[in-house]
Structure 1
């Protein structure tokens, strides 16, 4: 049974709270923090969770502080922020397109970011900062191209997905061509980046992600009500005072920025943006966009997958993108079967 409560502030603002969704967010947040503590303690030099917590509050030994604060904590924070960005970005894409397949993985944003990174690596022999900038620019340009190509008196969900699939195919071919013309060293570097990994991430990747999330996440949550109204149809939304196309355009820009920045920081990590909103919706049992649960689910999935890749295969032996790709591929096949049975594809 769904329990919904409304809180009213002194200024007359009414806030609707879904008790089940609040509980899901709390549980997922606790799971993400727990997995983070365990992940920080995992590696060639294992550290018990109690010592990890003690070190994080400044009471650890000198060696533990170096290992945790300088080496492992930035990697875990990047994982949390990348997972949260992909989860929220995927929820926005799926809500705007009204399609469970409307995620950055399917729409080609990951391929666009990879194309930008490959151009810098193969044609310019750029350094790590230039590769990151190229990936960010590639993702943004791809998102803009998809929106313009899908525009026809508005953006229809299935048209957006179909255009995205076409753009993804073109970019995949471009990426393959760039790999074939690169030398062995550049090709190896490109393949490692395209796999998607948190290995070697430091504070230089943490701060841009944290700053972007601090600005964009509140902006998205402030527009949750308008996004929920668009699910009733454009005509009803306009009648209720929602500027539908303006809202979609703004949220699409936010979604592209979130996914492109996340991809630039860690490489194209597959299927988190696709699966996180779906799993969050099944837990909350709510038909709405489920933005905050999707954010928490994305963070939990990525740090858990990173722990699994280290625990099962040894530290840094298997990039986290391989784990998420394998698990997400199985989920995608299951989702396609469900959509086919429902007659939607």
Structure 2
């Protein structure tokens, strides 16, 4: 990146200094435009196909009652939820990967999503709750799991590989607990839980849209203020404390934000796998930088989930796949590549 590619605005003490990469801004805009274009196209595709002009007319308030039901009441909440969930998972993964300086760290790999799933499943199968109570269960499960992971992993400082190993261990225990809940649940609860645990955008409504939009509305201002410290935090505890004041508090606030994003996204659509892992890695390579910026990562996540959901709906139509099944097929090879690359670097370093 050259000096001309970077715009730096210096402000007086007490204000936020904005450092904006022109390449990052252009990439973010292009990815969001692609995600929104795909989202609009997906509103007209399915068992009841509509031309793009008809879809836009319905969105503008026209069209027949059937077209309105299909586009606005059925597909629009699903699409908006998919965009928001993809952005939330990607932001969560980008934050955790940069704080731990490890590309393998993401909420689904280290057990945060498993904690959210366990909490939501506990509410679903034991309490018999749904809707808002499912959200609180997912958030509580993710927060408690994250606290356990961080407390164990912070024994000698926040080492990225220690965080991964501890998270994988806790995720394995939670998977066993989830299996136990499924075994003791009633048949209809198992069917609902099985679809939810794979990650699905089917039958999304106003509640799910509200959950994810409110989460992003609360998280984005925090990231605008604290996100500029991520590159320093990536250098390690000792250097971060030297370069910025309150590094420990900033790190904790960012971790809580990342966990909340993953938990609420899981509550809105289930634990859609690998988006948090893959999206930051894609944008990191597109930017040819040491770390992926948060803006492009969020746009990439939104694009990936929207595209995966469209594939899930159309691939075996009229049978519909859970979106998590598609992201799992795409994300698993990336995880294997990252593991192999990390092992190769470890042996040569």
- TM-score, length-normalised on structure 2? 0.92
Counterpart CA distance in 2 for 1:95 and 1:241 is 16
| Number of aligned residues | 345
Measured after TM superposition, the shift of residue 237 of structure 1 is 2.5
Measured after TM superposition, the shift of residue 51 of structure 1 is 1.9
What residue number does 1:310 align with? 313
Distance 1:315 1:286, change over 3 A: farther
Once the two structures are overlaid, the 10-residue window that deviates more, 174-183 or 193-202, is 174-183
Measured after TM superposition, the shift of residue 87 of structure 1 is 0.3
Once the two structures are overlaid, the 10-residue window that deviates more, 111-120 or 165-174, is 111-120
Once the two structures are overlaid, the 10-residue window that deviates more, 180-189 or 324-333, is 180-189
Counterpart CA distance in 2 for 1:225 and 1:195 is 34
Determine if contact 1:4/1:16 at 8 Å carries over to the other structure. Answer: no
What residue number does 2:9 align with? 8
Pairing 1:257-276 to 2, within 5 Å after superposition: 257-276=260-279
Q: 1:234 aligns with which of 231, 237, 259?
A: 237
Q: Structure 1 residue 34 and structure 2 residue 56: aligned?
A: no
The superposition leaves residues 239-281 of structure 1 with CA deviations (integer Å, 9 ceiling, x where unpaired) of 2224221111000000010000000111111000000000010
The superposition leaves residues 19-78 of structure 1 with CA deviations (integer Å, 9 ceiling, x where unpaired) of 221121111101100110111111221111222223223243443223222111111000
Counterpart CA distance in 2 for 1:146 and 1:243 is 22
The superposition leaves residues 138-185 of structure 1 with CA deviations (integer Å, 9 ceiling, x where unpaired) of 112211221222222643322222211111011011111222222322
Q: Structure 1 residue 212 and structure 2 residue 212: aligned?
A: no
- TM-score, length-normalised on structure 1? 0.93
What residue number does 1:138 align with? 141
The superposition leaves residues 66-107 of structure 1 with CA deviations (integer Å, 9 ceiling, x where unpaired) of 322211111100000100000000001101111111101111
Distance 1:103 1:259, change over 3 A: same
Determine if contact 1:309/1:315 at 8 Å carries over to the other structure. Answer: no
What residue number does 1:24 align with? 27
Structure 2, unmatched stretches of 5+, are none
SS in structure 2 opposite 1:269? Answer: coil
Counterpart CA distance in 2 for 1:9 and 1:102 is 33
What residue number does 1:95 align with? 98
What residue number does 2:301 align with? 298
Once the two structures are overlaid, the 10-residue window that deviates more, 226-235 or 170-179, is 226-235
Q: 1:52 aligns with which of 52, 55, 77?
A: 55
Determine if contact 2:88/2:265 at 8 Å carries over to the other structure. Answer: yes
Counterpart CA distance in 2 for 1:197 and 1:267 is 6
What residue number does 1:342 align with? 345
Measured after TM superposition, the shift of residue 228 of structure 1 is 1.3
Pairing 1:101-112 to 2, within 5 Å after superposition: 101-112=104-115
Structure 1, unmatched stretches of 5+, are none
